[in-house]
Structure 1
Amino acid sequence: MTDQDVEEELAGGGVNRVVRVGATVRRPAGAWSPRIHQLFEHLQTRGFTGAPRSFGTDALGRDVFEFLPGEVGHDPWTPAVAGDAALVSAGRLLRAYHDATTDVAASWRDGWQKPAVEPVEVICHNDVAPYNCVYDGERVVGLIDFDVAAPGPRAWDLAYAIYRFVPLGSAAGPRAGERLAMFFDAYGADEPLRRAARAAVVPRLRDLTDHMRAAAAAGDEAFAAHIARGDLDHYLKDMALLSG
């Protein structure tokens, strides 16, 4: 067996078992996988290098993507993940990603794991957070885990990104307002988009909690485990706090 055959399970998979094999990542395929491969191929044609390249499927039927070198921002946050440089670079990367999808968002409405959210403007990543970002030192240089990507408005994706990166809710610090403005500035958001993103945070969390409950009720052991460890209660608490 060569190093190219060794499977190294990657931390933070959460819902799926994700492994590294050499310079690739292998993960279970879903009905939405063709769209994810198509998205990655499109991003390459647009010159966006902050997402993995697609390598099709392997002999086991798993999706095969490029392994992006660097560190992933898992909890507990390091000073680099929590820093302003990470926040700003994440905002800039998200804007570049969104801009690279505007020409296909409206025509690629179907085939995703989640339904499109109107008005469709971009292909939302739908889970932009430090745990789905690759860091080079203090800078965010890549996005990973596009399983729940789907067409939607910029504000929908921004809402979850600011909730996670600023952060907002019960985890908000004394500089939350300043960091929120920094993220919006880095993204290049105008005032209407800033208002829309702030207004979408609670609806976005409601969509997440609905998805968690439905998945657990359908027998998804991973989401059931997330609920058991208190993730659902945390989101519900933040929804109440942010609605006040």
Structure 2
Amino acid sequence: MTTEDEAAGEALAGGTVNAGAVVRRGAWVERPAPHHVHALHAHLLALKESGFDAAPTPVGLTADGRERLTFVPGDVALPPFPAWAMTAPALESVGVLLRRLHETATGIVVDTDVEWPPDLADPEGGTVVCHNDVSPDNVVFRDGRAAALIDFDLAAPGRPLWDVAMTARYWVPMLDPESAASLYPPGLDAPARLRILADGYGLSPEDRAALPGTVEQATEVCRAFVARRVAGGDPGYLRMLAERGGWQRWDRMRDWLAAHRETFTAALLG
């Protein structure tokens, strides 16, 4: 039987693209469906069937075309990100969880007939469906450890290294100190934290050497994504750009990453 609260739904906080449009109804979550929803749901089901239990399970579509998935219980860090989500064990657990996702996805054949979202996808392509948006507000924690990933809307085929780079941008974070100050606790050691993430993931020496440059590449892709949203008049991204220092922030971030490339490489390979 559906209770009155379940029928009314509970709006879930977080996100920029779907802000205010995600609703929990009891054991289910309803949210705007991406254009490739059928392929995405097939992939999520394949992940589950292959043993990956750390993602929502698709239930189907609502009468008005929204996607319905199981609700994943736990704690999600929203900006400004709390200290509990930025501990070294929490960061390491994100790397472990991401490796589990990639190892499972490696065994799933990618549907090449699907128009996967290009927004944050690896420009070099690949054969593993990557999440591409493992930000703190898309990771569910339990007992201080990363337990599940949510919001696979921007998932697309790519290199696992690309997903690690995108994740590092959010979790290290790979931001200049001025940019990081508005969202993250003070005192985070970026080179040390990049090493922790790589260790948790089990990144190979070859990929460790390539990671700083891939982070720079990923940052440019993210900038272009924001630029498209702003040019299209998206109110969430217009507000975010204004509140976080405009394009000067992106210029500062790019210069900081380039200036510290050798430091990050040394931390990863030392």
Aligned alpha-carbon RMSD (Å): 2.0
Q: Does 1:152 align with 2:158?
A: yes
Shift of 1:7: 1.2
- Using the TM superposition, give the Cα deviation of residue 107 of structure 1 relative to its aligned residue in structure 2, in angstroms: 4.3
In structure 2, the partner of 1:14 is 16
Q: Distance in 1 between matches of 2:122 and 2:114?
A: 8
Please state how far the C-alpha of 1:217 moved relative to its aligned partner.
Answer: 1.6
CA distance in 1, matches of 2:205, 2:113: 27
Answering whether residue 193 of structure 2 is matched by residue 179 of structure 1, we say yes
Name 2:175's counterpart in structure 1: 169
Q: Is the 8 A contact 1:134 1:142 kept in 2?
A: yes
**Counterpart contact for 1:109–1:150, Cα < 8 Å:** no
Cα displacement (A) at 1:204: 0.6
Aligned-pair distance for 1:98?
0.8
Q: Does the residue aligned with 1:179 lie in a helix, a strand or coil?
A: helix
Identity %: 34
- 1:1-244 alignment, distance < 5 Å: 2-16=4-18, 17-104=21-108, 106-108=110-112, 110-114=114-118, 117-171=123-177, 173=187, 175-230=189-244, 233=247, 234-244=249-259
- 1:195 Cα deviation (Å)? 1.9
Q: Give CA-to-partner distance per residue, 1:61-84, whole Å, 9 cap, x none.
A: 101111110111112222320111
Q: Give deviations 1:198-224, integer Å, cap 9, x for gaps.
A: 211111111111111112222333322
Distance in 1 between residues matched to 2:113 and 2:217, nearest whole Å: 21
Aligned residue-pair number:
244
What SS does structure 2 have at the residue aligned with 1:134?
A: strand
Helix, strand or coil at the partner of 1:100: helix
For residues 28 and 107 of structure 1, the distance between their equivalents in structure 2, rounded to whole angstroms, comes to 22
Separation in 2 of the partners of 1:121 and 1:44? 19
Structure 2 residue identity aligned to 1:199: G
Q: Which segment drifts farther, 207-216 or 1-10? A: 1-10
CA distance, structure 2, for counterparts of residue 60 and residue 236 of structure 1? 42
Query: Offset of 1:44 from its aligned partner?
Result: 0.5
Task: Report the structure number with the largest CA radius of gyration.
Answer: 2
Could you tell me whether the CA contact under 8 Å between 1:72 and 1:131 is conserved in 2? yes
Residues 105 and 120 in structure 1, CA contact (< 8 A), matched pair in contact too: no
What secondary structure sits across from 1:183 in the alignment? helix
The two structures have a TM-score, normalised by structure 2, of 0.83
Comparing 64-73 and 225-234, the one that deviates more: 225-234
Q: For residue 54 of structure 2, give the secondary structure of its aligned residue in structure 1.
A: coil
Letter in 2 for 1:242: L
- Cα distance in 1 for residues equivalent to 2:42 and 2:110: 15
Counterpart AA for 2:255: A
User: Structure 1 residues 213-222 or 180-189, which shifts more?
Assistant: 213-222
Between the aligned partners of 2:140 and 2:152, the Cα distance in structure 1 is 13
The CA deviation string for residues 139-177 of structure 1, in whole angstroms up to 9 with x for no partner, is 010111111110011111111211221222224745322
- Over 3 Å counting, the alpha-carbon distance change for 1:74 and 1:68 in structure 2 is same
Q: Compare 137-146 and 1-10 and name the one that shifted more.
A: 1-10
